[in-house]
């Protein structure tokens, strides 16, 4: 996947702007959709697996960087949820401190219904 290398490069820049992170998250989520109606089984799972193996830890680290920005946290958590397709990726998120951060977001932004719902979905996906 040529685009994977480009997405990874964008996220690994020293001072990645919030707009770039938002767009990378959007592209990553789009690549996890099963959109090829010509075949019985699409490659969404493979795409999610490849993306997760490359950018999952980086996204988890970016949660700390943008912890005060509700929209950025929302986009990153939504993307993490889309990429967690295997147990090993749940373990990666846990080891990187992602689950603790999601719980902190859940507590700190309890008044934001969208973010609370995303945290609950992420919690369900990571098998707390």
Residue pLDDT, tens place only, 41-96? 767 778 788 888 888 888 888 988 898 888 999 999 999 888 887 888 888 888 88
Which is nearest to 74 in space by CA: 32, 44, 102, 107? 102
Six-digit token pair at 62?
A: 């970016």
The confidence score (pLDDT) of residue 72 equals 92
Q: What is the pTM of this model?
A: 0.83
The pair phi, psi for residue 36, each rounded to 5°, is -90, 100
Six-digit token pair at 63?
A: 């949660």
Average pLDDT estimate for 14-19: 88
How many domains does the chain divide into? 1
The confidence score (pLDDT) of residue 37 equals 64
CA angle 14, 74, 86 (to 5 degrees): 85
Residue 61 belongs to domain spanning: 2-125
The confidence score (pLDDT) of residue 127 equals 65
């Amino acid at each position: 996947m040529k685009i994977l290398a480009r997405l990874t490069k964008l996220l690994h820049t020293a001072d990645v702007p919030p707009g770039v992170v938002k767009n990378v998250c959007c592209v990553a989520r789009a690549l996890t959709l099963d959109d090829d109606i010509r075949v019985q089984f699409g490659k969404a799972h493979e795409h999610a697996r490849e993306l997760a193996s490359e950018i999952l830890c980086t996204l988890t680290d970016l949660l700390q960087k943008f912890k005060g920005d509700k929209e950025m946290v929302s986009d990153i958590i939504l993307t993490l949820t889309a990429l967690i397709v295997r147990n090993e990726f749940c373990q990666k998120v846990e080891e990187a401190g992602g689950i603790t951060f999601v719980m902190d977001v859940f507590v700190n932004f309890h008044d934001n219904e969208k973010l609370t719902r995303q945290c609950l979905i992420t919690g369900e996906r990571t098998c707390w």
